[in-house]
Each structure stands twice: as C-alpha cells, then as structure tokens.
Amino acid sequence: MNKNDDDSSVLSEDSDVAFAFVDFAGVNFDDEENKDGPSNEEPIADESNKVQDENTNQEKSLEMKQDLVSSTDVKLKPTQAQEANQALVQSVQSIMNQDEDGEQLVPASKLSAQLDTICYPKVSSPTVDLTKDAELAIKEEKHILMNDCYLGNIDEKQDIEESHDEILNRIRNSSNLLAMGDYIEVLNSVTAKDLFQHLDTCEGQSSVVQQIRHCVLKYCTSVSKCVEVELFAAAALNLFMQSNYTGPSLHHGGLIRPGKEENTYETLELVNPHPVFASDLKVTENKEKYVPTEPKDGEKMEEPPVDLPFHNAVLAELSVDGEWPCPVAKYPYFLLLARSILATLAQPNRPDWSHYLLNDEGDQIVVRKTDTTSCYEAPSQVFVSCANALACSSIWSGRAIVAHSRLLQGDEPAMTLWKEAKATFDSSVAKYCTNIPDDGRSLACKVFLEYGLAEHHFDREKMGKPLFYRALEFSGLDVEVTGAEGRRTKYQQKATAQYLVKAKPTSENKDTTNDVDKDKIEKQEIRFEEDTILLDKVKYVEDDNNVHFELNLMQQTVLLALCLDVKNDNPMDGLTGEQMGAYLERVLQQHDDWMVYASGLLERAWLESERNHTRERALLQLQALADQHTNRLTLTQSTFKAAVEDSAPPQERLRNIHYIVYPPRWGVLRDLAERYAKIGIVTSAAEIFEEIELWDEVVECYRRAGKEKKAEEIVRKRLTEAETPRMWAALGDITGDKSYYEKALEVSNGKFSSAHVALGQYYHDKGQLKEASDQFKMALQIKPLTPQVWFRLGALSMRLDEWETALQAFTEVVQQEPEEGDAWANVAAIHMHNKNPGEAYPALNESLKLNRNNWRVWVSKLYTCMDLGKYDEAIQACLTLIDLKAKRNESEGIPPIEEKVVRALVGKSIQGYDEAVKKQDMPAIDSAKRTLSRVRDLLAKMQSTMKETWLFEVTAHFNECIGRADQAIDELMKEYRSLVSFRGWETDSGMIVRICRVLTQISELNIEEGDVANLKKFKFLVNGVIKRFKAAYFDESKIPTDRIVELEKILADVEAATQKQI
C-alpha cells in the first residue's frame, strides 16, 4: 500500500489516533523484480488525543505527531503466528475479565515499583456474648439511630432501665442530645476527651484519619463503648449534613436559640477541630476572636471567618484518588471525624480511603503500596467482635461514604469510595433484608432505597432501578402510572390527556405530623403570580383523580426515587419531563416533611426552568431553596426573624435527608447560576459561581459579558484573603504560569492531581515531553483511575520510545474504559511495532467493534491478518477499505490497496487450494474454494474503482490458475492496452520488457486454446507492435535487437500454431 508522509499525517474525523503499519514480504508470481511497486519506507503514525483539562470545562486538543520505527519486512509464518495469536487471545480476554458486578479488575503489573502490592491478614471475629449493659446499649442504639435521630413521631417512649454503668448513661445522654438536634454538645462531651486521650500512644500514624482510627481501636474495648463512639460519629455526620445540605446555619437559629450566637460560636470552636488535632491540622493560633452579632431586619447575615490552613489540611485528608473536595464546603472536619470512626466500626479490617484497596476477598487484604500503606493498624479480635455486635454501623457508614463522595469535585466518582460503599451496603442488605419479619419491612425499604441512591450518586447507570423497586415492594405502597383528562391553564376549555400517578398505601399509615409543621413546610413553595394563566396543579376532569390518599414519609421518598429512575432511564426531553412531573405532583400534594417537600420543589423547579411560562417561578424557587442553608433573606422572607421562625429545626430537616437526592448548598447554587447564564444573566451567574469558587465558570461568564480581566482580578483578590489548590490552579489556567500549579501542589500537600495534569499539559505544549510524562506519572500515582491521563501518558511514551510504559498505559485505559476504541488500536500499534502481530490481532478486533469506520485500524488489521495467514479476514479488510474510500473525500488520505497485498492474497489462496487438493481434505477444499471466490470478488471490485496495470496482470494470473483461460486472455489484453497507452513506451526499455512478457503470455494461452481466428488476430497485433517499435527509432542501429528477436519468435510461434491448426 502506498504511503506518503503527508497522507499519513492526516487524521480522519472519527479517529484521534493513527497506527503503526507493519510491512510484509509480498508474493510475486514470477522471478522478475516488482519495479513499479512502492519502496519500503518507514511509516508515520500520528497520535492525536482530544482531552479535557480537569481545571477547565473547555476542551483542549492534545496533538502528538511522531515517526514510529517500523519493523522490516516480516515473512509470513502462519503456524507460528497462529500459536502466538492463540496465546494473545487468552491474554486479552484476561484483561477484560470482570467481577460479578461488572467492575474492571486492576492489572497485576504496574507502572513503577511504587505500585507494588502489600498483603495484610484479616483479623477473625469470634462471637461475643452480650452483657446486660451491652444489650441496653444496643437497644438505645437502635432506638435513636434506626429512627434517624428523630423521635418526634414516636408516641411511646421506651422503658428505660436504671443502670449505674457510666458508659450507658453517656449513651442515653448522647441519644437525647441527638434527638433534640444539639449535635455540638455531643461532640463536646466527655466522650471526646476519653476517646482522644489514646493519641498519646499513637506512633507512626501519618494522618489524622489514621490517628482517629487508632483511638477508636484502643478505646472501644466493649460493645457499650462502641455504641458510645458510634453516636459520637452520628452527631458529627449530622452537623456536616446540616451545614451543607439542609440548613439552618449553625450561627443563626440553627443550633440553640436565636440570640445565643456568640455562645454557639465559642462552643463550635472547641470541636472544629478538637484541640488534640490542632497541630496536625495546622490550626492557626492566636487568631483574632470572632464575635458574631445578630443581623437586623434587611441586613445580610455575617459568616464567621475560615481558618484556611486548617480548612485545606482537612480537605487534603478527605481527598480520594487525587480528587480534591469542594473548597466551599462548611466544616469538613465533622465529615472527616464521622468517616474515620464509622469506617472503623463498620469494617474493622478495611484500610481507610488513603489506601488503594485491590482485593479484600478471602483471609487477606491486598492494597497498592503507597506512602501511607505502612501506617495501616490492624484491629484486635476483641474490637472486631464488639464492632460486629453493632446494629446500625453499616447503615450510617454507608451514609457517610455517600456524603464523602458527593463532596469530591471530580468528573467521575472515586472508585475507592465506591468499593467501600458497595461492601458496606452489601453488609446492610445481608443483615436487614433477608428473612424479613413484618416489623422489619420498613427498615428493609430504607436500606434498599439508600443503596439505590448510592448507585445513582456513584453514576452506576441503571443499577439503582432494581433496588428502587425492591424498596417499593417493602414500602406498603401500590403505584399506578396512567393517563387522565385534565386542564393545565385557567382558561382552558377542552381537557387534554395528562400523566397521572396514583399511589395508595396497602395499609393504614400512622406516620403523621402536626398541622403547624405542615404550614411551615408549605411556605417553602413559590406560587404562580395571579396574572399567570397556568394553574398551580393539573385539574383533572374526573373528581376521583383529584383525590389523593395520605402517604407516610417513606412512601413519599420511594415515589421520589421512582421519579429519579424515570430521569436516569430516559433521554431528557419533553416526554420524560411530563412523566417526572406526574410523580412530583403526587409528592407535593402533602407537606409532611421539610426536606422531602423541598426535594420535590427542587426537582419541579429544574423541570420548569426549561419552559418559558414557568421559568420565572423556577428561578425564584431555586433561590429560595438555596437560601434555606443560611437563612439568607429571600423574596418570601422579609425579615431575619421571619427567616428563623419559618424554618424547621435541624433534627426535623435531617430525618429523611439520606432517602432523597437533595444537592448540597453549592450544588443548588451551581444549578441556579447555570440557569442564569443560560438565559443571559451572566453577571449574576458569575457572582454565584464566584461564591462557590467555580473559577472556570466565572471566567467564562465574564468573558461573555466582555470583562475578561475581571476574572483574573477576582481570583488574585480572593487569593490574598484565602488560598485553595483549585484557586491557584485556576490562576495558572488564566495566566499560563506554571508556578501557580506548583503552588497548588504545595497548598494541597501534593494531593491535587489536577495540578500535575496541568503541569504535564504545560510541558507538552513547550515540547518538553519527558517532563510532561513525569508529571502525568505523578498525577496517576495520586489518582490512578483517570483513563484520559493514562491515554496521554501512553501517547507521550510512544513518542519517547518507551514502549513498555506505553503498553501499560493503554492497557490501563482499556481496563477502565473498555469502549475506548482508540486505546485498543494503540495497544495493537505497540504490538505491531514490537513485531508481535499475534498479540495485535485481538486488540484490533476490539477496536473495530467500537468503531468500524476507522480506516487506519482496518489497514492495521489487513497487515496483521496477512502476517498471521488469516486471508479471509484480510480480504474483508480490503473490501471495507475500498468501501470507505468510495464514501469519503480524497483529502482524507485513505491509501489504495498495495500491489504486494493483492499478489500475496492471490498466491496464498491458490496455494491453499492446491495443498487441500493434494491431501484430498474435503472440508479444506470447500474452505479454499470459498476463499478463491472472495479473492475473485475482491479483484472485480478493485477493477471497478481503479485501473492499475498490475491489477490486470494479477487478475489474469488468477483466472489462469483456476482454469479460465478465456478470461485470462481478456485480462492480459486489458493489461496490454493499458501499457501501450503510455506515451513513449516504444523507447522505454522497462515498458518494452513488460509488453513482451504480456504478449508471450497471450501467445501461450492462444496456442493452448488453438482457436485459429484468435491466432490470426493475435498475429496482426504482434506485427503491429513490431512496426511501431521499429518506427520509433530513426537510427536502426539503436533498435534493441534482443527485443525484436523476442517479438519475432512470438510471431513465429503463433504462425506455426496457425498452420498446424489449418
């Protein structure tokens, strides 16, 4: 196949990658050298990969062009190739092995010695006999934690047995504080002092997470102490959720009472963080005392200052797989505390999230070797036994893991957290969802619902559906989705078909709230203005469809989950919006819970923001819901007093937060800003994006507003007040100065992988490929599950001739993204460069499964199949290339099929048939006949698209070998006419040689056929050639006599044959 540098450097639209081409020795039909064929030259491959910088939302193009070293001509050895191919097929299949849940397995070999593995033995857990105090502790644990720290609707108080056990009394006190929403008091209790006193014996633990684990392992020597610490962790988790998800603010009406803000802040300082961690978390000492004041009506409430060194240190502890947590999250220390404790209690043998867990099956734990691996502390048998006796640790640990995942700002969920979440929820399902008694159906419903929502939060597409329907099964709810006639506008005369969701409980519900609570909850809703033609709700024609049965809160959350399933299962179009709207309308019929109602309003606002008549209400609704986190004054709250009085207490807001998909504060603000930007209110959108520190969006909004310099000024100003890794990286993106990326790494303690990626891009743009490769490697050490970075590393390694690294990198890509066809193609390209066609073959097949229109991959497959003796597949590749070339423009550079490829196919197919006939192997003969038929079709298709002289020769030879002499003569005549059509052939020695060879072949076939008429015609043809040949030379002495003699001999043979036939 002819290849030139210009054509090879052009990338097709549907492929970002070019591939190495391996030449092979062609099979000629005569001993004559193929002089007009292409000369061997080193092929060129282009590597182009469009990547998205993790510091920006705009795509950058990473173009990598290089000259790959080609292998020399490789002789075809079918037997050896087939053996190698079989081995490679097995190896590639092993690459694609998956566990039963579809997760990609991690390869054993890694990039460097730092990615080696370490094994830890699991500690067994003998059954522990519960003492009376332990039983009372478990009873108290179930009472408070299984009711989600909310006892407002429980009429019957449990019988409290007196006990002189101090730990049990602490548990009861913590339980009461949790029920009242006084979470800070729990964290400031004597439990904290006794728990953290074990830090004195902590040696070798490098992080606060490991220090907290050490304290838990040492303190919890009984079941009662485990329960005590579990309640302590639940209080910390609720404080984090209140601050970032549900509100109200901890400083204004969110904790004790309005007017007590100063005491609240002083108490909060004692637990954020606990003093024992002040040095490890870089808490600033002697900072200026903050004295909060109650805002007057109409004033914006003041927020306390943020201790940036401490805040960044906590975020660094919470980073997972190189993903940095959201920098505007409030009080992340509470999540760090809850995660560290609950993870230790729920899965004692499992290392924390700073360890990359590879396998925890069997009696060993296998982790990837990192700087923190040696700090793993194994639990004791006593601790494992006591922790396993807990009833609610797996449920609450799963909630903390989901909150942790939602805190991260990566484009993809952290797989380290997903593996932990899956193990935790599986444990809850095994404990509460098998052999379920009647009184356990509600708990089973909750477990399945939370598990399904976890699948959603971790972007596990369609995996939550069966869990949602299992939750529906145990919820005691009958749901019917149907249609009914109704009206949507005030003046609508004719009713039209509307979606309708009918939900009816199978038994009487006892979960109710008082009317005062319902009035407060209903105030969250923003209603239509009076002059709006739309009705607040659909008015159905039949009165029965306007009547709705009372549902309990769990049943309402199940309906919201089914609404979410409609969203996940369908494209976001008008029909999907109608289906979701029917579910939401049914949920919003009741006002029983603050957050359930708020979740319904939020989902409805998202849908209404896409419609012209409802967009205004949707934006106001989003603003009101965003403001409930801080009690900031809204259009519906004219005074600060009203804002506080109208809000629900924290324990009521938190009771159902884990059963709904309600975004954190920054998530609601981001949605609001995106919708502002979409309708052109870019300056307001930029201000909101600035508040939640989404600097890429800030830059884009100000650019649209014509204020490009404004973004840089804002970032620089904010950095003087508070610095975060993402902010430094954003400044680096704006200015292109690499020192800002280095500063981001410094602030994050080297854990901000996006800064390494940005530095890698910087060095690549400068042409410093080795430095770029090193930066990508460091980014992958922090965050290995980033296929786009592995792809970049692989492409760079190919350019640096680091073929082993490139192969490892692209293998990682196809593991993590099996549908990445370009990576499969590059795996094949590397094997082809290493002269391993058998290993390239299955990778090429995988690539073609994903993109059958990539002509470069078809070219690579053609040569690979020729090397492996897979001639039928090589023919298929040729036919596909011809089709692709016919469909596309010549500028796309699809090269024609090379002469030596066609010669090899013809020669090998005929050879295969002859060998099968000699062996009298009928199946082989049938197979060879089918191959010959495909070769004939290929030659016919090539002649319809190209008129190369050599193609007529090859076709003639093929027809002669299969016994079709008449068609062979026709093809040779076509070749003759093609040769004599060239101007000046009479004086071209090379052309004369070829013409003599063609005439000799024609004469031999005609003589063999013995047709007198054809012989006479051919005699005139040869005479004409001789005359034209002689006429071309004015000087007869210069006529090459050897060629004249050869032509005259042909003429004499034809004359003799003619006379013989006469």
Rg, C-alpha atoms of the chain: 38
Share of the chain above pLDDT 90, in %: 29
Task: Work out the average pLDDT over 67-76.
Answer: 30
Is residue 1012 domain-resident? Answer: no
Residue entry with tokens 């444990």:
427
CA 745, CA 726: separation in Å to the nearest integer?
A: 10
Asked, for residue 1014, whether it belongs to a domain, the answer is: no
Query: Partners of 45 in the beta sheet?
Result: 66
Segment 704-715, tens digit of pLDDT: 887 878 878 888
Q: How confident is the model at residue 302 (pLDDT cuts 50, 70, 90)?
A: low
Confidence class of residue 371 from pLDDT cuts 50, 70 and 90?
low
Q: What pLDDT shows up at residue 1046? A: 78
Show the domain range for 381: 117-432
* pLDDT of 61 above 90: no
C-alpha span between 395 and 387 (Å, rounded): 13
Give yes or no for residue 517 having a pLDDT over 70. no
Residue 803 lies in a domain: no
Distances (CA, A) of 443 to 392, 395, 446, 449, 471: 11, 10, 5, 10, 10
- Find out whether 456 and 437 touch, Cβ atoms under 8 Å: no
Q: Which pLDDT band, with edges at 50, 70 and 90, does 531 fall under?
A: low
Give the highest mean pLDDT range of 4-13, 78-87, 282-291, 1001-1010.
Answer: 1001-1010
- Smallest CA-to-CA distance from 590 within 637, 619, 555 is with 555
Structure confidence by residue, pLDDT tens digits, 937-950: 999 888 888 888 88
Span 461-515, pLDDT tens digits: 788 899 999 999 999 899 888 888 888 776 777 777 888 888 888 876 655 554 4
146: buried, middle or exposed (CB in 10 Å: 19+, 13-18, 0-12)?
middle
Q: How far apart are CA 607 and CA 446, in angstroms?
A: 27
736: left (phi over 0), alpha (psi -120 to 50) or beta: left
On average, the pLDDT of the chain sits at 78
- The predicted pLDDT at position 802 comes to 92
pLDDT for residue 657: 93
> Does some domain include residue 155?
yes
Q: What is the mean pLDDT of residues 99-106?
A: 39
Element (H, E) at 505: strand 496-505
Residue 144 carries which side chain, given as an amino acid letter?
A: I
Question: Measured between alpha carbons, how far is residue 970 from residues 124, 466, 793, 947, 976 in Å?
Answer: 84, 68, 56, 15, 10
Q: Assign 163 a pLDDT band (cuts: 50, 70, 90).
A: low
pLDDT top residue among 1035 and 644? 1035
- The answer to whether residue 756 is domain-embedded is no
Confidence of residue 1059 (pLDDT cuts 50, 70, 90): confident
pLDDT band for 199, please (50, 70, 90 cuts): confident
Model confidence at 1062, in pLDDT bands (50, 70, 90)?
low
| Confidence at residue 627, expressed as pLDDT on a 0 to 100 scale | 77
Asked whether the CA dihedral 974, 976, 978, 981 is positive or negative, the reply is negative
- Whether pLDDT at 90 is above 50: no
Average pLDDT over residues 360-368: 79
Domain annotation covers residue 82: no
pLDDT score, position 757: 93
DSSP state of 649: P
Distance, in Å, from the CA atom of 973 to the CA atom of 1006, rounded to the nearest integer, reads: 12
- Cis peptide leading into 273, omega within 30 of 0? yes
- Say yes or no to pLDDT of 45 above 50: no
pLDDT at residue 254 tops 90: no
**Whole-number Å distance between alpha carbons of 635 and 623:** 9
Q: Is the backbone of residue 181 left (phi > 0), alpha (psi -120 to 50) or beta?
A: left
Is 650 a member of any domain? Answer: no
Contact between residue 37 and residue 900 where contact means Cβ atoms under 8 Å apart: yes
Confidence check: pLDDT of 23 > 50: no
**Comparing 197-206, 286-295, 458-467, which segment has the lowest mean pLDDT?**
286-295
Domain contains 1018: no
Q: How confident is the model at residue 3 (pLDDT cuts 50, 70, 90)?
A: very low
* Residue 383 pLDDT greater than 70, yes or no: yes
Distance from C-alpha of 1007 to C-alpha of 1050, rounded to nearest angstrom: 11
Asked if 174 and 140 touch (Cβ cutoff 8 Å), the reply is no
Q: Which range has the worst mean pLDDT, 37-46, 385-394, 443-452, 513-522? A: 37-46
Per residue in 753-804, pLDDT tens? 889 999 999 999 999 999 999 999 999 988 888 899 999 999 999 999 999 9
0.75 exceeded by pTM: no
What distance in Å separates the CA atoms of residue 511 and residue 154, rounded to the nearest whole number? 9
Task: State how many domains the chain has.
Answer: 1
The predicted-structure confidence for 843-894, as pLDDT tens digits, reads as follows 999 999 888 888 899 999 999 999 998 999 999 999 989 888 888 765 567 8
CA-to-CA dists, residue 609 to 498, 674, 997, angstroms: 20, 11, 79
Which of 380-389, 539-548, 690-699, 734-743 has the highest mean predicted lDDT (pLDDT)? 380-389
